[in-house]
Amino acid sequence: MSLMPTRYLDFEHKDMKAAILEACDGAAADRERAVGIFNFVRDRVRFGWDGRFYDMRASEVLNAGIGYCNTKSTLFCAMLRGAGIPARQHFVDISTRILDGLLDPGTPFVDHSFVEVDLDGRTHSVDAYIVDRSLFDAARERLFSEARSLGYGVHRDGVCDWDGEADAFSQFVRTGRDPAPTTRDCGVHADVGDFYRRGSRWNRLNIALRLGIPFFIPGPNARAQALRRADPG
Give me the CATH number covering residue 185. 3.10.620
Provide the number of structural domains found in the chain. 1
Nearest residue to 129 (alpha-carbon basis) of 59, 56, 38, 192: 38
pLDDT at 233: 46
pLDDT at 222: 97
Task: Residue 37: give the domain boundaries.
Answer: 14-198+219-230
Judge whether 138 lies within some domain.
yes
pLDDT at 176: 67
pLDDT at 180: 56
Average pLDDT, consecutive stretches of 10 residues, N- to C-terminus, the chain (233 residues): 91 98 95 98 97 97 98 98 97 94 92 96 97 97 94 95 96 76 87 91 86 90 94 49
Judge whether 5 lies within some domain.
no
Helix-, strand-, coil-residue percentages of the chain, each rounded to 5: 40, 15, 45
pLDDT at 231: 55
Judge whether 1 lies within some domain.
no
Judge whether 4 lies within some domain.
no
Judge whether 70 lies within some domain.
yes
